[in-house]
Amino acid sequence: MESVMAIFKGAEQGKRENQYLTGEKYFYGLGVETDVNAAENWYKRAAKGGHAAAAYMYGYIMLTGLSGKVDLKRGNRYIKKAADLGDRNAVLMLARNYYYGYGVKKNDRKAYRLWQKGAKTGCAEAEYYLGLCYEKGIHVKPDGKRAEKHLLSAFEHGFTVPVNN
């Protein structure tokens, strides 16, 4: 419990990492009661200070409405901020949002570029979606060899395709 209190104290003092960790504790109920609204508040504070993972989590809460209200515009703004700061999850989510037009104007070019960015970091899921771009001709000419290269790389890096029963 002492370490939780030290994290909270650092958060109150404005330490970004502690603000993020406080958000995590409230979001997941680690040492405290789960409180998504409190988590949202701490993530937002850390995100405003430039913390990538906090920006992702704040955007995620906004996009999903976990705190009671969906705000697609604000959610995507923070997801983009997190992606710009290098958060891999944010890069993937923003790419999907552009591809499907979720809260942003549908834009295959931006989705493709984000999947490309993720693939360059070794992200298996980004490799998979980049492979699909080449397979289906999403923003690029269909190219079977490139599709196969990226799809194989995704599977070699542990990506598995979700299956609905």
On the question of pLDDT at 40 being above 90, the answer is yes
Is residue 161 very low, low, confident or very high in pLDDT (cuts 50, 70, 90)?
confident
- The tens digit of pLDDT for each residue in 1-36 reads 668 899 999 999 999 999 999 999 999 999 999 999
Phi/psi at 14 (nearest 5 deg)? 90, 10
pLDDT tens digit string along 96-155?
A: 999 999 999 999 999 999 999 999 988 999 999 999 999 999 999 999 999 999 999 999
Averaged over 78-94, what is the pLDDT? 97
Q: Look up residue 103 and give its two tokens.
A: 């809260």
Reported confidence tier of residue 49, pLDDT bands at 50, 70, 90: very high
> What per-residue confidence (pLDDT) applies to 1?
60
Residue 163, pLDDT score: 72
Instruction: Supply the pLDDT for residue 4.
Output: 86
- Residue pair 76/103 in contact (Cβ under 8 Å)? The answer is yes
Provide the pLDDT for residue 3.
Answer: 87
CA 70, chain centre distance (Å): 16
Residue 2: what pLDDT? Answer: 64
Residue 158: band (very low, low, confident or very high) from pLDDT cuts 50, 70, 90: very high
Question: Domains in the chain and their CATH numbers?
Answer: 1-106 (1.25.40.10), 108-165 (no CATH)
Give me the pLDDT at residue 152, please: 96
pLDDT given at position 6: 94
Q: Is the pTM of this model over 0.85?
A: yes
Contact 87/76 with Cβ under 8 angstroms?
no
Alpha carbons within 13 A on the beta-carbon side of 146? 15
Beta carbons within 10 angstroms of residue 46's beta carbon? 28
